[in-house]
């Protein structure tokens, strides 16, 4: 299993200039690939690799930079193109010099860790690393990038061989994604609430946004940049809080359940609705799903991804389907046949487990205490 280990870098001014120069060359290669794609020209991997060699012969400033990250740009472009044709992402787009943030990928032959613990990259760039924890194995690749706060990071990919951790219980759980509650379990004790301090963080973000708008109108660019950096730091802290909460909740679910039936939900329609766009951003279902998949691998739980169609309309007790679709404002499901009354999200979560081929009522007595910080 591959895992990422991220560490902070402390590059000097010379190293930062060299990294930005390498990124500028990689950005140019990426834009050339996108231009060829938009013009319906050949964009196969072998063809583009030959084009990189030809471009390096044609442009001296391009050949002055290492070839390893430029070749990796071609591989990343091929993956982006495949994701577009598989309808997972939008088409590859041009990277702006002003708006895009530096990001460089190096394979094993493009970097090494020195005896003194520094990261040496292709192009003879040596950067001190803040080793917050040890790497379990030698990394196979590394991604060096700069975040919105201006800090540099190195993300190493390591192949880890580990046995599944022991579970506390071998229960069964269905998971339904939602808006009022980000994740609802088919049994009590597994619901995931919103991030702690979400309201205060939202107020502070609005405060910085308004301050930036006032300073921009006054053309006070020095204080505008300070406010922008504070806003970026707050956004980074919010993102970390979401990820940490998602990880704790996901491990709580996987530790207590051998069978996990998860809704294959894509919240695109929420972002299109006027009242749901902010809620959809606050939930960050994509982060929660990734953490749940990772936790199931760690604890050896069986994960089932279920088609969510009609899970809200079907009765999880008798299977009767409602005649009309429930509005989002209706939070209770009542069956017209067996008269059972359930929370609409709990009913949908129970249907996830039913569609995976398991009885949702078997483990109703197996309810561990809720994990603190998840509600």
Q: Say if residue 267's pLDDT is above 80.
A: no
Q: Token digits for 132? A: 């917050």
pLDDT for position 154: 96
Residue 363 or 25, more confident: 25
| Predicted pLDDT at 278 | 58
pLDDT higher than 80, residue 369: no
Q: Is 80 exceeded by the pLDDT of residue 272?
A: no
* Distance from C-alpha of 56 to C-alpha of 26, rounded to nearest angstrom: 12
Taking 50 as the threshold, does the pLDDT of residue 87 lie above it? yes
pLDDT for res 281: 56
Give the architecture (CATH level 2) of 171-196+242-355: 2-Layer Sandwich (3.30)
Q: Where do the domains of the chain lie? A: 2-159, 171-196+242-355
Average pLDDT over residues 250-269: 84
Average pLDDT over residues 285-304: 89
CA-based end-to-end distance of the chain:
30
Which tokens is 274 given?
């006027």
pTM: 0.79
State mean pLDDT over 40-57. Answer: 94
In what side-by-side order are the strands of the sheet with 152-159? 103-107, 141-146, 152-159, 2-9, 129-130
Of the candidates 328, 330, 310, which has an alpha carbon nearest to the alpha carbon of residue 320? 310
Distance between CA atoms of residues 341 and 80, nearest Å? 46
Work out the pLDDT band at 264, boundaries 50, 70, 90.
confident
Each residue's pLDDT tens digit, 5-37: 999 999 999 999 999 999 999 999 999 999 999
196 pLDDT band (50/70/90 cuts)? low
Pick the residue with more confidence: 304 or 170? 304
Average pLDDT over residues 144-169: 89
Section 73-86 average pLDDT = 94
Q: How far is CA 288 from CA 180, 233, 249, 268, in A?
A: 15, 22, 9, 16
Residue 268 has pLDDT above 70, yes or no: no
Given a cut of 80, whether residue 275 has pLDDT beyond it is no
């Amino acid at each position: 299993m591959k895992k990422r280990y991220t560490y902070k870098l402390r590059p000097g001014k010379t190293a930062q200039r060299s990294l930005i120069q390498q990124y500028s060359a990689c950005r140019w290669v990426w834009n050339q690939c996108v231009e060829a794609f938009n013009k319906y020209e050949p964009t196969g991997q072998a063809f583009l690799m030959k084009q990189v060699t030809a471009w390096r012969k044609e442009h001296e400033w391009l050949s002055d930079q290492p070839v390893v990250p430029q070749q990796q740009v071609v591989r990343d472009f091929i993956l982006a193109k495949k994701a577009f044709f598989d309808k997972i992402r939008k088409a590859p787009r041009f990277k702006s010099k002003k708006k895009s943030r530096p990001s460089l990928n190096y394979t094993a032959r493009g970097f090494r860790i020195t005896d003194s613990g520094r990261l040496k990259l292709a192009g003879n760039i040596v950067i001190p690393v803040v080793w917050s924890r040890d790497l379990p194995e030698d990394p196979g690749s590394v991604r060096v990038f700069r975040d919105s706060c201006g800090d540099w990071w190195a993300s190493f990919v390591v192949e880890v061989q580990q046995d599944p951790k022991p579970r506390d219980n071998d229960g069964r759980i269905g998971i339904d994604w939602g808006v009022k509650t980000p994740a609802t379990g088919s049994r009590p004790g597994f619901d995931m609430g919103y991030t702690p301090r979400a309201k205060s963080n939202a107020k502070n973000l609005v405060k910085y946004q308004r301050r930036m708008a006032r300073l921009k109108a006054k053309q006070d660019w020095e204080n505008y940049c300070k406010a922008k950096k504070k806003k970026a730091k707050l956004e980074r802290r919010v993102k970390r809080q979401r990820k940490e909460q998602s990880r704790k909740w996901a491990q709580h679910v996987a530790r207590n359940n051998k069978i996990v039936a998860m809704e294959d939900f894509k919240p695109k329609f929420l972002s299109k609705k006027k009242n749901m766009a902010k809620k959809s951003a606050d939930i960050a279902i994509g982060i929660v799903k990734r953490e749940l998949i990772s936790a199931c691998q760690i604890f050896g739980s069986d994960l089932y991804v279920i088609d969510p169609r009609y899970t809200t309309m079907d009765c999880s007790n008798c299977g009767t389907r409602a005649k009309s679709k429930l509005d989002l404002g209706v939070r209770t499901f009542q069956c017209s046949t067996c008269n059972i009354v359930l929370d609409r999200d709990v009913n949908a979560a129970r249907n996830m487990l039913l569609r995976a081929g398991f009885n949702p009522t078997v483990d109703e007595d197996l309810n561990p205490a809720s994990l603190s910080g998840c509600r």
